[in-house]
Amino acid sequence: MNIIGLILLAMCLPIITDCRNFFMVPKNLTAKQSTKYQTEDNPNLVNNGDRSGTYVSGVTCTHASGDDPGPWWLLDMGQTYLISGVNIWNRLDNDCAQRFTHSGVGITSDLTVWTDFSIDLLDPCHFRTDVPTVADNPLKFTCARPTSGRYLAVYKNLTGVPDLLTGFHFCEIDIYAFTKDSSKLVVTETQASFSASSTAGLLTASAPHRVRSQLECMLLCSSHPYCLYALTRTTSAVLECWLFSSFSIPTSFISLFNNSSNDGVRFLGLYGGLSKP
């Protein structure tokens, strides 16, 4: 059956309607960092819900020393969580967004990391080498596999990084974890609202996001209060994530697959998004 047939037979498409298997780790936890750019810099300021993106020492964001050879930020989550990924809200002022490159997220339960930090103690979640822009905010770090631990670190590897991009700073972090019963997804048949005649708009306009996993697509959905997403796979095995602004299939999505250039695209499923914390 082709892609249009699959969509029109909406009643045959299972959809996850209970998204409580994910939640955001609580805010205002204790953090520390390798160095400070200014004395007033406070590592706790990037775990308080302020996503403004403008660095003010001691008020918003945090910033490591400019000559720190291996900058890092470390959060004590207070208990062990099974982490699926994080959204990092980058600094947006003074053309500084591009500095958040060659940076990674790691997780561990080793108590030693709190008193004697080492990247070697971390179980890696995701490492990015791209040079971000303001438009990329927030930056998505999706663990290649669910990663368990009490301590979560954000760090930067300066090897080969140009001097212009060596600064280490960010403004907020949202951490997403699985609940203990995350394997018990409630799956039901699709509601009648999934209609090919719907006029709801794509959040991503006419272009999908390229993702590594369904988890990454769910995290993208988490930035919106009401979100539906579809997964497709191209003939070159690229996983694509389509985001919708409400629980309906827009006409624009149907028309994309009426185009002969989309032949060979495999429709993988239509799902309810991660609920807003």
Q: Which residue has the higher pLDDT, 41 or 19?
A: 41
Is 167 found in the same domain as 45? Answer: yes
Q: Are 142 and 17 in contact (CB under 8 A)?
A: no
Looking at the domain assignment, is residue 5 inside a domain? Answer: no
Distance CA 99, CA 168 (A): 7
Could you tell me which residue, 156 or 18, shows the higher pLDDT?
A: 156
Residue 94 sits in the same domain as residue 71? yes
Residues 109 and 147 in one domain: yes
pLDDT for 180 equals 60
The verdict on 171 and 93 lying in the same domain is yes
Q: Any residues with CB less than 8 A from the CB of 183 and at least 6 apart, and which?
A: 21
Counted residue by residue, the chain has a size of: 277
Both 152 and 93 in one domain: the answer is yes
- Give the global pTM: 0.63
Confidence of residue 166 (pLDDT cuts 50, 70, 90): confident
Q: Which amino acid would we find at residue 34?
A: S
Which residues neighbour 123 within 8 Å (Cβ) at sequence distance 6 or greater?
106, 107, 108, 147, 148, 149
- Which pLDDT score, from 0 to 100, does residue 252 have? 53
**Number of domains composing the chain:** 2
Q: Is residue 2 part of a domain?
A: no
Question: Tell me, what CATH number does 119's domain have?
Answer: 2.60.120.260
Say what the pLDDT of residue 59 is. 96
Both 128 and 203 in one domain: the answer is no
How do beta strands 228-233 and 239-244 pair?
A: antiparallel
Q: Are residues 251 and 203 in the same domain?
A: yes
Q: Is residue 190 part of a domain?
A: no
For 239-270, write each residue's pLDDT tens digit: 888 777 644 455 555 555 544 445 556 666 55
- Whether pLDDT at 173 is above 60: yes
In a domain, 6, yes or no: no
Q: What domain range is 208 assigned to?
A: 195-269
pLDDT of res. 58: 95
109-120 tens-digit pLDDT = 999 999 999 999
Residues 74 and 102 in one domain: yes
Q: How far is residue 230's CA from residue 114's CA, in Å, rounded to a whole number?
A: 40
Q: Which of 252, 77, 25 is nearest to 242 (CA)?
A: 252
Same domain, 142 and 202: no
**Is residue 1 classed exposed, middle or buried when 0-12, 13-18 and 19+ CB atoms within 10 A define those classes?**
exposed
Handedness of CA 106, 110, 115, 117 (dihedral sign): negative
User: Does residue 153 sit in the same domain as residue 236?
Assistant: no
